[in-house]
Every structure is written in structure tokens, then in C-alpha cells.
């Protein structure tokens, strides 16, 4: 098949990595691949050891495809420019695989795809959906109809089915997972949190966990955020950890190579409240590291279905009823109500009555620590750090915290999970799914997405974490 992979750019990052993995895997499988990007790669495309032909990656640049702030204006018609790029290499393509087109980074792209879809076969692969608490990238126009869609987790698959898509026109394409290596012979003293410290990574909870780790160990966050809106919150957590003397390292990955960091880790941890695919739940096992921390149900369900076990995970951190938390239910209800109303307004809609009623139910309940916003989390961390009785009460209702101070990973589980990850998410298996999806996408389908239904499914107050909302 002649397959075109389309993305806004080829800057280093998650989606770019997926695009390059897909390109090389498809070429190795015998397909012809053309990558179309909004700009030239800023660094040479990474070379894969043992790849048969590094010259096989063909990239064409269509500047009009880039993010709004960088694309030329006025520019060429994007649909026409994409076809021109293809015709400079082939007579025509079998399918265009367009990555993350529903995220409004280029306000002209959806209209271009609707036009392109009149003559070409499209497979729109979504790594993120704006309805998932991201009004800043929400497009106020209908999504393309009568083309094929793909997602990377079963929750998004289910939500799109419930919003009008058909099984024959919707495809679940997980990401390939590569093995990572840890340097041997390094003292294992860290619980490694291998992430960029953005808001939804829930760093406050990482600080809370640090109160329960064995003496002499640290929680190590590898990278700082890169955006202004996340940096302020990140620096506040960094300041609090220093003020309270918490055993937390920041920017560990800027000081030490990643392989050495992995080698210095007793295990990996995660406190994230929201993920698209969830590499951090999978990759550490391939380096011989167990993973502990917060279970994200819709992410981990896919992995557990594949055969992984997460024995050191928790679903929530309940708070003890005491003087410290007496006002938390009402504070949380008020802040949740404000956040949900602001979300619906940002999406251009009124808050439904059923949602308002559901929020009121929280007034008598203590929230999950991971659902609270940063000021509430900071207040509790300060009190827990200063009060051994409060820490004991917290561990009493969350036994995994008590166990965490003495936790020793099970080597047999680490090896079993490593084998599952490298088999189930192998290049061979994921490429087979991708190629089957591309072939299926050449068959016409009549379908459309109900935007209002999709929004309802995502904006369920029972699953909202205030630190997981883009702002």
C-alpha cells in the first residue's frame, strides 16, 4: 500500500515518535510511506539500530499544515497542498493517516480534511480528544463525516462508538512500546517518576508519597515543564518540597542520563491523573523496574486485559475525617462546581441539570486527594508533614501507604510484566493492527460523530480531577 502519514510537525515528542515508528514499521512490512509535516525536522530524524534502510523515510513539507501561529497566512489550500505533495512522489495514495486532527492546533485543518475526504481515503488517528477537558483546543465545527477514525485506548473507542461511529469505521491502534535499558551497578535509591512535571502528572501526590518512603530514598521527577502555565505550579511544588525538607528530587533527568537514572531506581512511580496511552505504566517493566502508584482505570484496564498485573497500585487516596479535613467537602464541592461550569462555558454550552445535581452530592463527601486542586493538596501536605498522627490516620485508611514504606518489588512479577509488554505491544503486533486498519480505511463508511454526546461522556463530574483540567 501507499500510505501517507500526516502531522503538524516533526519536533521531538510523543506523537512525532509514533509517526516515525509507524513509518519505519510499515516500510519494513513492505508498504510505501510518505510523511507530510508542517516543517522540516529541526534535528536529524533518529536512526534506529539495525534498520534495513535509513534513507527510506521520505518527508515532504507543507507549511500550511503547521500550527496556526507558524503557518503562512494567507497560505495555499491545505487539501490541495497535501495532494501536490503526494503527486511529487507518487501518482496517488491509498490512504492518508492524519495524526491528532481533532485537536484545534490548525484552525483550517478540519475544513481541509472534509474537502480531501471527497476524493481520498482518510484514517484520522486521535491521540487526544479536546472533549477530554481541553476547551483550549476545541473546534467549533463538526468533525469530518464518512471517513475512518482511530484511537489509542478502549475508553475513547467506547465513547466514539456511543457518539455515533460504527465498529467497521473505528479502529483501536495501541502504541508500540520499545524496550529501555538501565545501567547496571548503580545504587538503587530512587523511586523514579519519569515524566515532565506538567499539571496532570499530579506532583502534589508525589510529594505526599514521599512522606511514606523508606529513609534514604527519594522520589525523583525527571523533567521540568516547558509551558508557562505549568511552570508556575511546578515551581511552587519545588519550593514546598524544599521548605518542608521532603525527599523529592526535581529535574533529575537534566543532571543524569536516563539509563543511569533507571539503574539508580528501586522502582518507578506514577501519580498521574490523566493519560492518553500511558507509556509510564509500561516502559519501566522493560528495564526491569516495577511500577507503583495511582491506577488510572481507563488506561490500566487495557493493560490488564493484555495480561499485566499492577499489584502496587491504588485507585484513590482517601482522607481521614478529622479537624484538618472538616471543611474539605464543601471547599471541594465549590471548586468542582466552579470548574465544571467554567468548562461547559468554555465549550460554549450550559451546564446540564443532571451534572449540577451530581456535583451537589459531593458536599458531604471527603474527596480523593488526587481530585483536589493544588491549594487544597498543599494544605493537607503541610499538615501531614508536621503531624505524625495525621500521617498514621491516612495510612490506616490507605493500607498501601503503610505497605509502601516496606515495599519490595516481586522479581517474578517484574519479569512476567516485562514479557507481556514486549509481546503485546511489540512492533510486529502493533504493525499488524496498523496495516489492517489502513486496509479497512480504504472501504467507504457512512458515519458521523455527535459532538454533544461525546462531550457529555467526557465531562462526568465523578471522574474529574481538578489538577487534570487544562487551564
What are the pLDDT tens digits along the chain (471 aa)?
A: 999 999 999 988 889 999 999 999 999 999 999 999 999 876 566 555 555 444 468 999 999 999 999 999 788 899 999 999 999 999 999 999 999 999 999 999 999 999 999 999 999 999 999 999 889 899 989 999 999 999 999 999 999 999 999 999 999 999 999 999 999 877 889 999 999 999 999 999 999 999 999 999 999 999 999 888 899 999 999 999 999 999 999 999 998 899 999 999 999 999 999 998 999 999 999 999 999 999 999 999 999 999 999 999 999 999 999 999 999 999 999 998 898 889 889 998 888 787 777 787 776 789 999 999 999 999 999 999 999 999 999 999 999 998 888 888 999 999 999 999 999 999 999 999 999 999 999 999 999 999 989 998 998 777 788 998 765
Q: What pLDDT shows up at residue 13?
A: 81
Q: Which of 393, 232, 208 is nearest to 314 (CA)?
A: 208
Q: Which of 126, 100, 160 is nearest to 458 (CA)?
A: 160
Q: What pLDDT shows up at residue 405?
A: 84
Question: Three cell numbers at 305?
Answer: 486485559
pTM for the full model? 0.91
Note if the bond before 74 is cis, omega within 30 degrees.
yes
Distance CA 452, CA 56 (A): 43
- Name the one residue in this structure whose C-alpha cell is 493538596: 377
Q: Which of 81, 82, 77, 78 is nearest to 93 (CA)?
A: 82
The helix/strand count (H/E) of the chain reads as: 18, 13
Distance CA 268, CA 257 (A): 16
Q: What pLDDT shows up at residue 45?
A: 65
Sequence-distant (6+) residues with CB within 8 A of 56 are: 24, 27, 33
Q: What pLDDT shows up at residue 226?
A: 87
Q: Which of 179, 176, 177, 180 is nearest to 431 (CA)?
A: 176
Using DSSP's 3-state secondary structure scheme, residue 377 falls into helix
Sequence-distant (6+) residues with CB within 8 A of 407 are: 267, 292, 312
Beta strands in 135-261 (DSSP E): 148-151, 170-172, 190-196, 218-223, 248-249
Using DSSP's 3-state secondary structure scheme, residue 123 falls into strand
Work out the number of other CB atoms within 10 angstroms of the CB of residue 109.
Answer: 28
In this structure, what DSSP letter does residue 107 have?
Answer: T
HSE-up of 324 (CA within 13 Å, CB side)?
A: 20
Q: What pLDDT shows up at residue 365?
A: 81
Distance CA 26, CA 31 (A): 5
Sequence-distant (6+) residues with CB within 8 A of 280 are: 194, 195, 268, 270, 272, 291
CB 292 within 8 A of CB 313: yes
Mind listing the domains of the chain with CATH numbers? 2-176+427-458 (3.40.50.2000), 192-317+402-424 (3.40.50.2000), 328-365 (no CATH)
Beta strands in 237-316 (DSSP E): 248-249, 265-270, 291-294, 313-314
Amino acid at each position: 500500500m501507499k500510505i501517507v502519514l500526516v502531522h503538524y510537525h516533526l519536533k521531538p515528542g510523543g506523537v512525532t515518535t509514533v509517526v516515525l515508528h509507524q513509518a519505519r514499521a510499515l516500510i519494513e512490512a513492505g508498504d510505501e510511506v510518505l510523511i507530510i509535516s508542517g516543517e522540516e525536522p529541526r534535528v536529524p530524524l533518529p536512526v534506529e539500530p539495525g534498520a534495513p534502510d535509513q534513507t527510506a523515510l521520505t518527508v515532504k513539507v507543507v507549511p500550511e499544515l503547521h500550527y496556526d501561529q507558524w503557518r503562512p497566512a494567507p497560505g495555499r489550500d491545505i487539501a490541495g497542498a497535501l495532494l501536490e505533495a503526494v503527486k511529487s512522489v507518487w501518482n496517488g495514495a491509498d490512504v492518508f493517516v492524519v495524526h491528532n486532527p481533532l485537536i484545534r492546533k490548525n484552525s483550517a485543518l478540519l475544513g481541509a480534511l472534509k474537502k480531501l475526504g471527497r476524493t481520498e481515503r482518510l484514517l484520522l488517528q486521535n491521540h487526544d480528544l479536546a472533549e477530554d477537558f481541553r476547551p483550549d483546543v476545541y473546534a467549533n465545527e463538526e468533525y469530518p463525516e464518512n471517513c475512518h477514525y482511530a484511537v489509542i485506548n478502549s475508553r475513547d473507542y467506547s465513547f466514539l462508538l456511543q457518539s455515533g461511529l460504527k465498529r467497521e469505521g473505528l479502529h483501536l491502534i495501541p502504541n508500540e512500546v520499545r524496550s529501555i535499558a538501565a545501567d547496571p551497578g548503580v545504587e538503587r535509591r530512587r523511586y523514579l517518576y519519569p515524566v515532565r512535571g506538567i499539571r496532570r502528572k499530579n506532583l502534589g501526590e508525589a510529594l505526599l508519597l514521599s512522606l511514606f518512603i523508606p529513609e534514604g530514598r527519594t522520589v525523583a521527577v525527571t523533567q521540568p515543564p516547558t509551558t508557562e502555565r505549568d511552570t508556575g505550579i511546578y515551581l511552587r511544588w519545588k519550593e514546598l518540597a524544599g521548605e518542608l525538607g521532603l525527599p523529592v528530587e526535581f529535574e533529575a533527568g537534566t543532571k543524569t542520563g536516563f539509563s543511569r537514572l533507571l539503574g539508580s531506581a528501586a522502582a518507578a512511580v506514577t501519580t498521574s491523573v490523566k493519560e492518553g496511552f500511558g507509556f509510564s505504566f509500561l516502559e519501566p517493566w522493560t528495564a526491569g523496574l516495577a511500577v507503583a502508584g495511582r491506577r488510572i482505570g481507563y488506561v490500566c484496564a487495557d493493560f490488564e486485559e493484555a495480561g499485566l498485573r499492577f499489584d502496587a497500585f491504588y485507585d484513590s487516596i482517601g482522607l481521614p475525617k478529622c479537624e484538618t479535613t472538616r471543611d474539605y467537602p464543601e471547599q471541594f464541592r465549590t471548586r468542582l462546581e466552579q470548574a465544571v461550569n467554567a468548562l461547559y462555558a468554555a465549550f460554549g454550552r450550559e451546564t446540564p441539570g443532571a451534572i449540577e445535581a451530581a456535583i451537589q452530592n459531593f458536599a458531604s463527601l471527603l474527596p480523593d486527594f488526587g481530585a483536589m486542586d493544588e491549594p487544597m493538596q498543599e494544605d493537607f501536605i503541610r499538615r501531614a508533614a508536621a503531624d505524625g498522627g495525621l500521617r498514621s490516620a491516612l495510612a490506616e485508611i490507605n493500607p498501601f501507604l503503610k505497605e509502601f514504606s516496606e515495599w519490595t518489588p516481586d522479581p517474578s512479577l517484574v519479569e512476567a510484566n516485562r514479557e507481556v509488554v514486549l509481546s503485546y505491544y511489540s512492533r510486529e503486533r502493533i504493525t499488524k493492527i496498523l496495516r489492517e486498519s489502513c486496509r479497512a480505511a480504504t472501504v467507504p463508511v457512512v458515519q458521523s460523530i455527535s459532538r454533544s454526546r461525546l462531550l457529555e461522556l467526557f465531562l462526568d463530574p465523578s471522574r474529574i480531577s481538578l489538577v487534570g483540567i487544562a487551564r
